[in-house]
Structure 1
Amino acid sequence: MKTTSPDTEKKKSGIFARIISWLLVILILGLGGYVYYRYYFVFGEGVKSGYLNYAVKKGNLFKTYEGKLIQEGLRTNQVGTGVSNNEFEFSVESDSIFKILEVNSGKYFDLHYKEYHGVLPWRGNTRYVVDEVVNMR
């Protein structure tokens, strides 16, 4: 009959606990990296120009600022579907920017935006978040 010493069992359980803790740390870091990349990493940014169609505050649980810019020119969405207008739907995080947009509906704007991979409900309904009014006329 073979018996194992208490030291051998302690070493086995210590190694197992160490492996589990490292896997847990790696899993948490990986999940944190994914959440950052998906919801907080700025994928792209630029400026869009057009006539402001509307700026509204809406939402069931999180009230967010949303807007739509009608860009000049025409485009086709799919082959054979005809021509439609260029619309840029966006969200706004800042109260001050929303107030500018709200009282100037119908004017021509140049808006600086940031594009994210994912949508957060408290940030808005779109992946595009306007953070600056570059020009208004």
Structure 2
Amino acid sequence: MKKFLRISLLLIVVVLAIFIYVRYYFVLGEGVKSGELNYCVKKGYVFKTYEGKLIQTGIRSLSPNTIQSYDFEFSVTNENVARTLMSNSGMVFDLYYREYKGALPWRGFSRYIVDSIVAMKDPRTGNLVR
């Protein structure tokens, strides 16, 4: 009976560990999003994280007679990247991100985590700033 309980407990721990890894640490997708930076702020009750929103070109309609822009809400884990974003609001950015299945409180509110800035452009001139 003890052997059965040990094996069952071990199996439960292994399944739980696999579930947590896949849900919170496995990178589901990665890529680059481009758009005008709306905001980047540091916020949170216990864990202060950097959160931002990128407004992408184009419009969509979720229901009849409505128009809405494409928004990309993200979290930033790198403080240097967050400071660059905060000091250049309104610029057009190409942001490299990773997508996870779930969000962790100390990583941010979003499933999308921005790792780096690929390019930054001035929206008036279209010239690369960086």
TM-score, normalization: structure 2? 0.90
CA–CA distance in structure 2, aligned partners of residues 96 and 81 of structure 1: 41
CA–CA distance in structure 2, aligned partners of residues 32 and 94 of structure 1: 26
CA-CA distance at 1:133 after TM superposition: 0.4
* Paired letter, 1:126: S
Match 2:24 to one of 29, 34, 39: 39
1:105 partner SS: coil
CA-CA distance at 1:81 after TM superposition: 4.5
Q: Which runs of 4+ in 1 moved over 6 A?
A: none
CA-CA distance at 1:19 after TM superposition: 1.1
1:56 partner SS: strand
Q: Which runs of 5+ in 1 are unaligned?
A: 1-15
Partner of 1:125: 109
Q: Which runs of 5+ in 2 are unaligned?
A: 122-130
* Paired letter, 1:86: Y
2:40 partner SS: strand
Residue 75 of structure 1 pairs with residue 60 of structure 2: yes
- Give the structure with the larger helix fraction: 1
RMSD of the TM alignment (CA)? 0.8
Larger radius of gyration: 1
Residue 89 of structure 1 pairs with residue 73 of structure 2: yes
Residue 61 of structure 1 pairs with residue 46 of structure 2: yes
Partner of 1:105: 89
* Paired letter, 1:63: K
2:85 partner SS: helix
Partner of 1:12: none
CA–CA distance in structure 2, aligned partners of residues 33 and 113 of structure 1: 23
| Number of aligned positions between the proteins | 121
* Paired letter, 1:68: K
CA-CA distance at 1:46 after TM superposition: 1.0
CA–CA distance in structure 1, aligned partners of residues 98 and 12 of structure 2: 29
CA–CA distance in structure 1, aligned partners of residues 10 and 70 of structure 2: 46
Identity of aligned residues (%): 50
1:60 partner SS: coil
2:104 partner SS: coil
